Amino acid sequence: MILAIDTGVRTFGWALVDPDDEMVHALGAQCTEPLFNERVHESYVRRMLHQVSVHRSHLDMVSVIVGEELSFPRSAKAIASVSMCWGALCALAAVEGIPIEAVAPKHWQQAFQVSKSKVDYAQVTRAVRLHLEMNSSAGAKAQLHALKAGERPHAVDACGVGIYRAKLAAARKRRGSA
């Protein structure tokens, strides 16, 4: 099983995707807000520890962790958030002995649209959601619908990352280089 992650400190998404048939078995997103009067460092530590505990709860069937590749957004705060998430994922993978991979946002997003030019995020989202309607468990569908509107895009992005990684694995198998 692929554990796919859409990284973020405040809100992160995750999905469990079968690498053999691209079926999404479970998904979710969580928002962890800073607490009132909480120091910045304490807030990051608390939220990252929570995130690691959520990811650890899914590892029993996971053969690979795949996250959206590090990108460096405009603000230092966003860079710190993404970097901390990747650091936590790498540590978790190392401790658990699970391989970890990265997928470039542009690569997985372009795989879900007809035109391979500039990424049309609305088109990508529609395509991933269509895949979810056609190729996900009833539980995953219920999990998606139960998420708050602001959390859904993170779960959908994690699904996109995982489905794309499953497609890559299938292509490698067909070429005989799994």
Longest dimension (CA), the chain: 56
pTM value > 0.75: yes
3 state SS of 87: helix
pLDDT (tens digit per residue) in 54-72: 999 999 999 999 999 877 6
Determine what percent of the chain is predicted with pLDDT higher than 90: 64
55, 92 Cβ separation under 8 angstroms: yes
Mean of pLDDT values over 94-115: 92
What local confidence, expressed as pLDDT, does residue 70 receive? 78
Distance CA 170, CA 111 (A): 14
C-alpha neighbours within 13 Å on the C-beta side of residue 153: 8
Asked whether residue 164 carries a pLDDT value surpassing 90, the answer given is: yes
Q: Classify residue 60 by its DSSP letter.
A: G
What local confidence, expressed as pLDDT, does residue 83 receive? 87
Q: Please tell us whether the domain made up of 2-175 is placed in CATH 3.30.420.10.
A: yes
